[in-house]
Amino acid sequence: MDIWRRLKSDYVYIKGLLAISATSKMLKADGDLLVSDDLEEKFDQWPERVAFHFEGKDTTYAELESRANRFANWALCAGLEKGDCVALYMGNQPDYVAFWIGMLKVGMTCAMINNNLTGKGLAHCLDIVDAQTIVTTADLLENVATAKPHASKRLQIWSLGGAVGDGALDMNALMGSVSDKRPERKYREGIKSGDIALYIYTSGTTGLPKAAKITHIRTIGFMRTFVPACNITKEDRIYLTLPLYHATGGICGVGSALQTGAAIILKDKFSASSFWSDAKKGAATMFVYIGEFGRYLMNQPPSPAERDHKIVKAFGNGLRGDVWREITARTGIEKIVEFYGSTEGNVSFINLDSTPGAIGRVPPLLTFKMPVRLIKIDPVTEEPMRNEEGFCIDAEIGEPGEAIGPIKNDDPRLRYDGYKDQKASEKKVLHDVFELGDNWFRTGDLLRRDKLNYFYFVDRLGDTYRWKGENVSTNEVAEAVSSFEGIEIANVYGVEVPGREGRAGMAALTLDRQIDYAKFFEHVTAALPDYAVPIFLRIQTQTDTTGTMKLKKVDLVKAGYDPSAITDELYFRDEDARSYVPITPELFKDINSGKVRL
């Protein structure tokens, strides 16, 4: 980078980061500003503007708030009280957003649960936030029923629309009789900005999802961040295909519109084949992505539709540098704002000058504003390396290191609120890092930085990997796999596949008898969400463990699924055959070339 480009980049980042910082400057954890207060002010500014365009129908801001008010008044009539946690288990639709806004209006919290979860996983998500009420839709009632036998407390199930059964209550019947008037603020009196508003779930090393505590101050920050970063105005139309239970889509994407009076063109799910035509129909000016979307779009045959639209910008995370360049070349979209950050953490980056592949840059003048450090990690133990004095060691330029951030609960940007489970929260805190008594948040992610202070994502540490835009817990998958008769030990990990983002799931199995791979296919497909089902299997005669009986994975990850380099039997999940089939040299080649669908 020459001196003029560097100065231009410095200007862009200093101006942009200061503007982003200003959006939360007046927010204080002990303040009285709540999400409901913030949004009610916005609803009053542009009641007639379109908030959502969904399945051919427009919903105005006035209509969105009217619906939220009905949900709020429904909650009061249903006997719910301030401080109660209500679980939301629903697919993408405007009512999803209206519901959690409604709960916050009357001082309740809302748990936004992945609607792919069933059985024990769903019950666990309800139990850890003490949610005894769940709101769902008729098409998901069967899923909810699978959780009832595993829930620790009796569930009150409300069904929004359609027939009800199996103990579910008809929400529409009550909704029709309640007022759509704005509830009085007294229902949320006494709640502070630093109190919990939402629970959003993340995968962890415990084998089941963890409920991240999202406070009012944090929610407002999520909603405001991308407004200055992407120069979002009321004239924008944001194309949103991400699930609304994700922070990226459901809070950052939705919030960017609610803060500005922009419109959201909402889809129930992402479709690569119809993406550009749908964007054109909706007159979209921008979209929100996760990295996998970019690859899916670029795997489609080039067509004139890629440029026959009004989209000029996008924001999201996980976009690979090579895919980024291809998107820009094929679509003409140059303003791509990549960001990095965890739902629960205090470490974040944002790429403001659209440098392909980078998650952001910290100009030297602003290091005091973004005091993130990368520290050396032992590749075997995955624990921080320490010097003779017992303190952590900074990674060198170009060397991967775990990203950590100082915890300062009086600063909205550096707060760490953690999870509902206090033990899980503590596991993410590193003590005595650079001086005695200091506390830092562990991201669990390896990053690297270059000499210009651009940062790049490298990999995830620990027992999770990312596939199809979801964080997958190896322990959760191992538990489901091991419950199949004949499997003695299941060692689950993620492996790289050429041309694919993230890591595909692989399980090294030790068997005590021969198994039926077609029946195993059906078992794991029923037991796990699609993104968590192992793609590859490796059959071992014995399992390697450490001295403390932990399963070894490093060599397995490196070996991957190459039949020419591995003597163990290897299998591939074949969806057409509905079974796991042997990996031959020909199949291995087809997988790596992208000919075979994963």
Q: State what percent of residues in the chain have pLDDT above 90.
A: 71
Note the pLDDT of residue 465: 84
**Is the confidence at residue 195, as pLDDT, over 90?**
yes
- DSSP result, 481-514: HHTSTTEEEEEEEEE--TT-SS-EEEEEEEESS-
SS3 state at 101: helix
Note the pLDDT of residue 545: 63
Note the pLDDT of residue 204: 46
Note the pLDDT of residue 206: 43
Q: Among 596, 547, 344, 411, which Cα is nearest to 21's?
A: 411
Strand pairing report for 464-467 and 360-361: unpaired
Integer Cα distance of 204 and 424 in angstroms: 9
Q: Which amino acid is at 185?
A: R
More confident residue, 101 or 421: 101
Q: Among 130, 151, 269, 141, which Cα is nearest to 199's?
A: 130
Q: Is 445 left (phi over 0), alpha (psi -120 to 50) or beta?
A: beta
**At which residue do the structure tokens 């003490």 appear?**
130
- Tell me the per-residue pLDDT of 241-263, one tens digit each, with 9 for 90 and over: 999 999 999 999 999 999 999 99
Note the pLDDT of residue 379: 75
Count helices and strands in the chain by DSSP H and E runs: 18, 28
- Tell me the per-residue pLDDT of 21-77, one tens digit each, with 9 for 90 and over: 888 877 888 999 999 999 999 999 999 999 999 999 999 999 999 999 999 999 999
Please state the three-class secondary structure of 18-77 as a single string: HHHHHCCCCCCCCCCCCHHHHHHHHHHHCCCCEEEEECCEEEEHHHHHHHHHHHHHHHHH
Q: Which residues pair with 133 in a beta bridge?
A: 86, 156
Q: Among 246, 208, 261, 220, which Cα is nearest to 44's?
A: 261
Please state the three-class secondary structure of 423-460 as a single string: HHHHHCEEECCCCCCCEEEEEEEEEEECCCCEEEEEEE
Note the pLDDT of residue 6: 81
- Tell me the per-residue pLDDT of 476-491, one tens digit each, with 9 for 90 and over: 898 889 889 999 889 9
Looking at residues 110-135, what average pLDDT do you find?
94
Q: Determine contact, residues 224/255, Cβ cutoff 8 Å.
A: yes
Note the pLDDT of residue 249: 95
Average pLDDT over the chain, rounded to whole? 92
In what helix (H) or strand (E) does residue 537 lie, and over which residues does it extend? strand 536-540
Looking at residues 326-352, what average pLDDT do you find?
94
- Tell me the per-residue pLDDT of 160-194, one tens digit each, with 9 for 90 and over: 987 677 788 999 988 989 999 999 999 999 999 99
- Tell me the per-residue pLDDT of 363-413, one tens digit each, with 9 for 90 and over: 888 887 788 999 999 877 889 999 999 999 999 999 999 999 999 988 878
Note the pLDDT of residue 88: 98
In what helix (H) or strand (E) does residue 570 lie, and over which residues does it extend? strand 569-574
**207 pLDDT band (50/70/90 cuts)?**
low
Looking at residues 306-332, what average pLDDT do you find?
94
**424 pLDDT band (50/70/90 cuts)?**
confident
Residues 6 or more apart from 504 whose CB is under 8 A from it? Answer: 467, 494, 495, 496, 497, 535, 536, 598
Note the pLDDT of residue 547: 46
Integer Cα distance of 143 and 122 in angstroms: 9
Distances (CA, A) of 481 to 306, 430, 485, 531: 41, 33, 9, 14
Cα distance from N-terminal residue to C-terminal residue, the chain: 39
Q: Is 318 exposed, middle or buried (0-12, 13-18, 19+ CB in 10 A)?
A: buried
Integer Cα distance of 133 and 200 in angstroms: 16
**Is the confidence at residue 548, as pLDDT, over 50?**
no
- Tell me the per-residue pLDDT of 493-539, one tens digit each, with 9 for 90 and over: 999 999 888 899 999 999 988 999 999 999 999 999 999 999 999 99
Note the pLDDT of residue 299: 82
Query: How many residues comprise the chain?
Result: 598
**Is the confidence at residue 587, as pLDDT, over 70?**
yes
| Domains of the chain, earliest start first | 31-269 (3.40.50.980), 345-460 (2.30.38.10), 464-593 (3.30.300.30)
Q: State what percent of residues in the chain have pLDDT above 70.
A: 97
Q: Determine contact, residues 337/230, Cβ cutoff 8 Å.
A: yes
Integer Cα distance of 532 and 526 in angstroms: 11
Q: Among 573, 335, 370, 582, which Cα is nearest to 455's?
A: 370
- Tell me the per-residue pLDDT of 429-468, one tens digit each, with 9 for 90 and over: 999 999 999 999 999 999 999 999 999 998 778 777 889 8
Q: What value does the CA radius of gyration of the chain take, rounded to a whole number of Å?
A: 24
B/e letters for 76-87, b = 16+ CB within 10 Å, e = fewer, are bebebebebbbb
Q: Is 60 exposed, middle or buried (0-12, 13-18, 19+ CB in 10 A)?
A: middle
Which pair of structure tokens corresponds to residue 40? 């009610």
